[in-house]
Amino acid sequence: MKKFSLVSGLLCTALVFGCGDDGKAGASATNPTTNSTNNNTGDATEGDTSTGNNSDTETPGTTTSASATTSPTSEGPTSDTTAGPSTEGTTDNTFIMPPDGGGGTKECDPWVQDCPAGQKCMPYSGDGDNSWESLKCTPIMENPGQTGDPCTVEGSGVSGIDSCDLAHMCWNTDPDTGEGTCVKFCTGSPDAPSCDVAGTSCTIVNDGVLILCLPMCDPLLQDCQGGDLCIPNPMNPDSFICVLDASGEEGQEFDVCEYANACDPGLYCLGPELASECDPMAAGCCLAFCDISAPECTGANAECLAWYEEGMAPPGFENVGVCGLPQ
């Protein structure tokens, strides 16, 4: 199985995803069949396959955002949902991991917040790169921010020191101003994670260092706020989450990509074998989500491939597809 990781980029906080080796996750960067999470409450139950934080190899990924969004209207199944077109993925499922990712020092437990009074257990970069791989106790500031409040970080987004409250962190920070938004940690445990913030889904990444409740969304509507992307949640095949658009000037359809959030809104970084227009040697290629009830695909011989196997789609996501060549 692959590990999921998050890195902080120059312009954003980058979330690195991966998926399992069991082939269930379909084309390239589709949702791994890991812990399934209730789409309305964020509560998670353990599926038949192991979660990303119990795997042996590293894979990286995308840039997340803390902006609010609407959530799917109905509760989806919480078991072995198969997501993504039924094809093989790209190398390491599209996501390129920093060579020194993982293996950090963990001085505390973010699930139980076992730091001394007045401190909180926070993820940070202990080796000087842009990836959270370690945990330490840091001071809780006076009048700390709650979920959705504006916040600031000290030093950088990976310093572990911010103005948010216990079991919160300053997310999606601006590298120039150090300002971001307070996002709440998941509650429960690694085996039974949940979110008590409505409309969010628990995402556990970076070998369990980051445990975040991120906003849910609809990939066909791309209904995230602030221009954020709506892409699959690596921890839950039944939900999609809002992440920061890190595509910059690139990320157009058929462009090369290496991260799940490196494509423009409405596109996703998938395997290059899904389109003849893609570079076959690339790690990934930006391809469009589509509505299987009203498909509009631009690639040569492309079809709107169902994201879920027949009968496995959560309510509200029955028409989600991605444009690609039948495999």
Per residue in 108-134, pLDDT (tens digit) is 999 999 999 999 999 999 988 777 999
Supply 157's token pair: 């987004």
Confidence of residue 72 (pLDDT cuts 50, 70, 90): very low
pLDDT in the model for residue 120: 99
Confidence of residue 173 (pLDDT cuts 50, 70, 90): confident
Supply 278's token pair: 């893609």
Q: What is the mean pLDDT of residues 10-25?
A: 34
Distance CA 177, CA 299 (A): 41
Task: Please provide residue 131's backbone torsions phi and psi, each rounded to the nearest 5 degrees.
Answer: -120, 135
pLDDT tens per residue across span 77-111: 223 334 565 333 322 322 323 333 447 899 999 99
Distance of CA 7 to the CA centre of its chain: 11
Q: What is the mean pLDDT of residues 309-327?
A: 94
pLDDT in the model for residue 218: 97
Long-range (24+ apart) CB contacts under 8 A made by 98-102 are 98/5, 98/7, 98/60, 98/129, 98/130, 98/131, 100/127, 100/129, 100/131, 101/5, 101/7, 101/16, 101/58, 101/60, 101/131, 101/133, 101/206, 102/3, 102/5, 102/58, 102/133, 102/206, 102/207
Distance CA 320, CA 122 (A): 36
Examine the pLDDT at 306 and tell me if it is beyond 80.
Answer: yes
Q: Give me the torsion for CA of 294, 298, 303, 304, rounded to 10°.
A: -40
Examine the pLDDT at 237 and tell me if it is beyond 70.
Answer: yes
Distance CA 275, CA 301 (A): 8
Q: What is the mean pLDDT of residues 43-52?
A: 30
- Indicate the domain borders of the chain: 2-98+187-287, 119-184
Task: Please provide residue 18's backbone torsions phi and psi, each rounded to the nearest 5 degrees.
Answer: -150, -175
pLDDT in the model for residue 158: 92
Examine the pLDDT at 76 and tell me if it is beyond 70.
Answer: no
Supply 60's token pair: 């990286």
Supply 168's token pair: 């919160």
pLDDT in the model for residue 23: 31
